[in-house]
Chain A
Amino acid sequence: MTQSATDVQVSSAEARPPVIELQGVCKAFPTGRNGTPQLAVDNVSLTIPDAAEGEFVVLLGPSGCGKSTILQMVSGMLAPDKGEIRALGKTVHGPDAQSATVPQAYTCFPWLTALGNVEFGLSVLGKPAGERRKIAQEYLKKVGLGDREDAYPRELSGGMQQRVAIARTLAMRLSIVLMDEPFGALDAQTRAEMQMMLTSLWTEEKNLIVFVTHDISEAVLLADRILVFSARPAKIIQDVRVPFPRPRAQTLVYDSQFVQLSQALLNLLKSEGHDAR
């Protein structure tokens, strides 16, 4: 069989390993007084191919279903009991500078200013001081805090602190950015603002973001692709493409297609025996 030039091109693109790959991953935790293991992740396999344009992937599922556990295994903070996890083609052995997580809790270091916090990740990467400062200032501007670089976290609202945390992670320009319900602790209005900030910011960054949430409309608003999880133990029950073009506006939530998709997801989650928003 002869190969034309286009065939060769396609196969070399496919030769790039997937950004994230899980194969048959299982994880149990010893919980309860007698320490009987509780299965948190049940034989999960998923592939996120390496897209030149980056991708915004959302893991959607009810609270406590194990999606955060999956995220922690991807970042290397937890090891799977069974199965394999590969990031950028290499098996994940532990936490490293390939991926970074924005957690739900406020984790800005109180002893550093906003600028100092954003510079922290860059200093871990070993960037020299001048370059650190420049990049940090750039990203603080991108999250809308350009005028607050000398503020300490205690002087900032919860939403602003999460912006700093996001800037800290994104400034490192990693291939894989993980977000574990980063807006969960915020009020509804701030959450809506943060969603808009993130989605427009991502349109510039175009890296891979894996975002965990239990909020259906948040998932549909932000994602290119939604992996829907069952209740604990986590199993993927659906893989959904979100067709809306970018940039996306907050008003998208009133669009009939948006509502339909949200409704379908809600029914899907309900039928798994669990309530979700």
Chain B
Amino acid sequence: MHQAFTVRGKIEPRLDAMLGLGAIALVLIVWVCITLGPPDHRMIPPVFLPAPRDILDGVQDLVKAGQLPGSIWISVWRIVQGLFFTILVGVPLGILMGSYPFLDSALRKFLDGGKSVPPTAFVGLIILWFGIEERSKVVFLFLGAIFYMTLMTKNAIQNVRDDYVNVAVDLGASNWQIIQGVLLPGALPQIWDAIIVCNGLMWTYIVLAEWVNAQSGLGYMISIASRLSRSDEVYAGIILIALISALTDWMLRAVRKRFFNW
């Protein structure tokens, strides 16, 4: 029996990819089958589950209407900004909290509390504070991810092996030398993982961020389609978000493998 069926067995990348794509193909085939026929005579009404062909037509319509690919770039740009500020604030704060126990003690409870609050609850406050322009979308994304970015960075720093830290201490390194020479490089792979998680988080939040007050973006596109009951366009938007999020995820992981694989 192939190792892939044994608990904790190993699987070659080729087989792994094939199985993944095969499963997707299977789902597509089932999907096509259960949505066969003209819109009025289907097993499932097209408003609940459009056929793949309908979704492709929907994409065409959106492109013709000028909504695509522009919406994609707008949403991507918002997420890039969100990530930028999240990293700018969360990583240094996480490093300091991870390095100095007194900071961890003082701030941890605020972060634990904050991470449980959904940014949706902040929407009213965000509009009040930041208006309805681009800024408020980025703030929304920022709030969704910052607590996780900080806490995960802090954990990454605290998880650096004691052995490594002790070597530096034993050699007489200063606090700064320990942080910059051991803690930061040691934690870098996990900090990058935290960035990958936050990227994923932001893609789940982008629709919300754009639902309430946007004039553009994938979330806005989906919200309009939803109000018009254009299920094909809604699905198109959802699938696009899933694909782009997976693509950015894959790109970030590739960077990790190339530069931080210790």
Chain B interfacial residues counted at CB < 8 A: 18
What secondary structure prevails in chain A residues at the interface with B? Answer: loop
Contact with A along B174-189 (1 / 0, CB 8 A): 0001000110011010
CB distance from B171 to the nearest CB of A (A): 5
Q: Return the chain B residue nearest A97 by Cβ.
A: B172
CB distance B185 to A111 under 8 Å? yes
Q: Return the chain A residue nearest B189 by Cβ.
A: A111
CB distance B171 to A172 under 8 Å? yes
Q: Does A182 contact B (CB under 8 A)?
A: no
Q: Return the chain B residue nearest A122 by Cβ.
A: B171
Residue B171 contacts which of A100, A105, A110, A152 (CB distance < 8 angstroms)? A100
Q: B129-181: which have CB < 8 Å to A?
A: 163-164, 166-173, 177, 181
Contact with B along A101-144 (1 / 0, CB 8 A): 10101010111100000001101100000000000000000000
CB distance A101 to B181 under 8 Å? no
**Given contacts A95-B172, A97-B172, A124-B177, are A107 and B185 in contact (CB under 8 A)?**
no
Q: Does B110 contact A (CB under 8 A)?
A: no
A255 contacts across to B, CB distance below 8 A: none
CB distance B185 to A109 under 8 Å? yes
Q: Does B262 contact A (CB under 8 A)?
A: yes
CB distance A124 to B163 under 8 Å? no
A121 contacts across to B, CB distance below 8 A: 171
Complex CA gap A112/B171 in Å reads 17
Residue A95 contacts which of B163, B169, B177, B260 (CB distance < 8 angstroms)? B169
Complex CA gap A107/B162 in Å reads 10
Complex CA gap A95/B177 in Å reads 14
Contact with A along B182-206 (1 / 0, CB 8 A): 1001101000000000000000000
Q: A70-101: which have CB < 8 Å to B?
A: 75-77, 95-101
**Given contacts A95-B170, A121-B171, A124-B171, are A109 and B164 in contact (CB under 8 A)?**
yes
A123 contacts across to B, CB distance below 8 A: 177, 181
A98 contacts across to B, CB distance below 8 A: 172
CB distance from B166 to the nearest CB of A (A): 7
CB distance A77 to B166 under 8 Å? yes
B173 contacts across to A, CB distance below 8 A: 124
CB distance A103 to B171 under 8 Å? no
Q: Does A248 contact B (CB under 8 A)?
A: no
Q: Return the chain B residue nearest A123 by Cβ.
A: B181
Q: Does A277 contact B (CB under 8 A)?
A: no
Q: Does A154 contact B (CB under 8 A)?
A: yes
CB distance B177 to A111 under 8 Å? no
Q: A217-273: which have CB < 8 Å to B?
A: none
CB distance A109 to B172 under 8 Å? no
CB distance B166 to A97 under 8 Å? no
**Given contacts A109-B186, A111-B188, A124-B177, are A97 and B167 in contact (CB under 8 A)?**
no
Complex CA gap A95/B171 in Å reads 7
Q: Return the chain B residue nearest A76 by Cβ.
A: B170
A97 contacts across to B, CB distance below 8 A: 171-172
Residue B170 contacts which of A101, A109, A111, A112 (CB distance < 8 angstroms)? A101
B260 contacts across to A, CB distance below 8 A: 111
A107 contacts across to B, CB distance below 8 A: 163-164, 166-167
- Max chain A CB contacts within 10 Å: which of B167, B177, B182? B167
CB distance B262 to A111 under 8 Å? yes
Complex CA gap A101/B167 in Å reads 8
CB distance A103 to B186 under 8 Å? no
Residue B186 contacts which of A99, A111, A154 (CB distance < 8 angstroms)? A111
Complex CA gap A105/B162 in Å reads 11
CB distance from B84 to the nearest CB of A (A): 25
CB distance A100 to B163 under 8 Å? no
A96 contacts across to B, CB distance below 8 A: 172
CB distance A109 to B182 under 8 Å? yes
Complex CA gap A75/B170 in Å reads 7
CB distance A124 to B168 under 8 Å? yes
Query: What are 21 A-B contacts defined by CB distance under 8 Å?
Result: A75-B170, A77-B166, A77-B169, A77-B170, A95-B172, A97-B172, A100-B171, A100-B172, A103-B163, A105-B163, A107-B163, A109-B167, A109-B186, A111-B186, A112-B185, A120-B171, A120-B181, A123-B181, A124-B171, A152-B262, A172-B171
**10 A-B pairs closest in CB distance:** A97-B172, A110-B262, A111-B185, A96-B172, A124-B173, A107-B163, A124-B171, A107-B167, A95-B169, A95-B170
Q: Point out residues on A near B: beta carbons under 8 Å.
A: 75-77, 95-101, 103, 105, 107, 109-112, 120-121, 123-124, 152, 154, 172
